[in-house]
Amino acid sequence: MKILGIETSCDETAAAVVQDGRKMLSNVIVSQIDIHAVYGGVVPEVAARSHIEVINPVINQALSDANCTWDDIDAIAVTYAPGLIGSLLIGMLAARTLAVLHNKPIYPIHHVEAHVYANFLTSSPNTTYKLPPTQPSFPMLALIVSGGHSQLVLFQDHGNYELIGQTCDDAVGEAFDKVAKIIGLPYPGGPSIGKAALDGDPLAYKLPKAKLAGKYDFSFSGLKTATLRAVQREVGVDFTFPSTQLAERLDDRKRNDFAASFQRIAIETLVDQTEKAFNDFHPKSVVIAGGVAANAELRRILSDRIPLHIDYAPMNLCTDNAAMIASLGFYFSQKNEPADPFELEVEPSISMTKTAWGSPL
């Protein structure tokens, strides 16, 4: 079964064709990073307008890269939640129109749930992707870490999962992005902190690790504020000094040291909770998903601490893409009826709290 996936929840316009949930026949991503970098973050109206410009060419490219015509496509899977409303609407309207026009079943896919399915892609004619040879087995513990989410989810099977921990405040990717801004590293902050940290001393600054009531929960807002205070102290100003003027007073060595010190605590926080959950639930596999899962140091520390071989998805499938949407679309279609293409709506702020499958969408 060949599924066309469409993803436009934030600032990537993406389409892909995946066969049977595991074989990635094409994966097209047009990123708007350059457009938003000048503003230091995603501007929703600009994002929506950029999606409109490229959505049709991106879909056509995904079909032609996969050597497919519409006759070869069995279904469409499209992100319906969560994300920026204007961005979600473009992908959704394109998908609904194409479903009607070509008479294809359409399946609504939850973006955060789909991040996990980057780990289910195991083959591709495009050899530049280093895909793992096998799919993860259940029960599977997933650490989902993106710009909007930080959560631990225990999957018993496809569509049968339980949220066991989540962030009480900021998402970890958000903390990476905010700290990068404070110390003067370019947007998006995650990759630039990862890069700067390679040349920094992770023990240069002592930053606190949050203690939390929920056993598997996370918190990153205290770490972000502690980093801000430490930078203010380092440059010799008090807490009223504007964060936007700190970066110019840091030299490269201090900037790298802050990146490494922040990254160390952020990663330890994630790994501590994952290790606790691993010891309590004894999953057969552990996967990481979402943009922050592209962080090489997170992968290194997690593999050090979890006594199980972890097959990581390639870094470029951790950030937003449509192959993960098409992969989940396959498993979703095995257990759910297609949606009505005339009725399907977007849900900008539905989070992944309990098993979404089987409940009315």
- Which residues of this protein are in contact with ligand KG4, per CB under 6 A? 10, 146-148, 173, 176-177, 188-191, 194, 290-292, 294-295, 319-320
d(CA 41, CA 48): 14
Residue 292 C-beta: closest distance to ligand KG4, Å: 4
* 165 vs 173, beta carbon nearer ligand KG4: 173
φ/ψ of 144, rounded to 5, equals -105, 115
d(CA 198, CA 335): 45
Residue 138 C-beta: closest distance to ligand KG4, Å: 23
What does 191 bind: ligand KG4, Zn ion, none (CB cut-off 5 to 8 Å by kind)?
A: ligand KG4
Please give the angle made by the CA atoms of 26, 317 and 115, to the nearest 5 degrees: 110
Q: Is 8 in the site for Zn ion (CB under 5 A)?
A: no
Whose tokens are 């980057």? That residue is 118
CA 73 to chain centre: 26
What does 86 bind: Zn ion, ligand KG4, none (CB cut-off 5 to 8 Å by kind)?
A: none
What does 11 bind: Zn ion, ligand KG4, none (CB cut-off 5 to 8 Å by kind)?
A: none
CB of 66 within 8 A of CB of 17?
yes
What does 21 bind: Zn ion, ligand KG4, none (CB cut-off 5 to 8 Å by kind)?
A: none
Positive or negative torsion for Cα 282, 285, 289, 294: positive
Nearest CA to 9 out of 106, 81, 107, 99 is that of: 81
What does 177 bind: Zn ion, ligand KG4, none (CB cut-off 5 to 8 Å by kind)?
A: ligand KG4
Please give the angle made by the CA atoms of 324, 190 and 238, to the nearest 5 degrees: 150
Residue 58 C-beta: closest distance to ligand KG4, Å: 16
Residue 80 C-beta: closest distance to Zn ion, Å: 14
* 164 vs 317, beta carbon nearer ligand KG4: 317
List, as one string, the DSSP characters of 250-285. --HHHHHHHHHHHHHHHHHHHHHHHHHHHHHH--SE
Cα Rg, the chain, nearest whole Å: 20
Q: Is 113 in the site for Zn ion (CB under 5 A)?
A: no
Residue 94 C-beta: closest distance to ligand KG4, Å: 19
Q: Is 25 helix (H, G, I), strand (E, B) or coil?
A: strand
Contact residues for 289 (Cβ-Cβ < 8 A; gap 6+):
115, 116, 118, 119, 142, 143, 144, 145, 146, 313, 318
* Eight-class DSSP state of 243: G
Residue 340 C-beta: closest distance to ligand KG4, Å: 27
* 200 vs 290, beta carbon nearer ligand KG4: 290
Q: Is 106 helix (H, G, I), strand (E, B) or coil?
A: strand
Residue 361 C-beta: closest distance to ligand KG4, Å: 20
Within 10 angstroms of residue 20's Cβ, the number of other Cβ atoms is: 12
Residue 324 C-beta: closest distance to ligand KG4, Å: 10
The residue count for binding Zn ion (CB under 5 A) is 2
Query: Which positions from 293 to 332 touch Zn ion by CB under 5 A, shown as an x/- string?
Result: ---------------------------x------------
* 5 vs 202, beta carbon nearer Zn ion: 5
* 21 vs 190, beta carbon nearer ligand KG4: 190
Q: Is 146 in the site for Zn ion (CB under 5 A)?
A: yes
Which H/E stretch holds residue 5? strand 2-7
What does 124 bind: Zn ion, ligand KG4, none (CB cut-off 5 to 8 Å by kind)?
A: none
What does 82 bind: ligand KG4, Zn ion, none (CB cut-off 5 to 8 Å by kind)?
A: none
Using CB under 5 A, list all residues that contact Zn ion: 146, 320
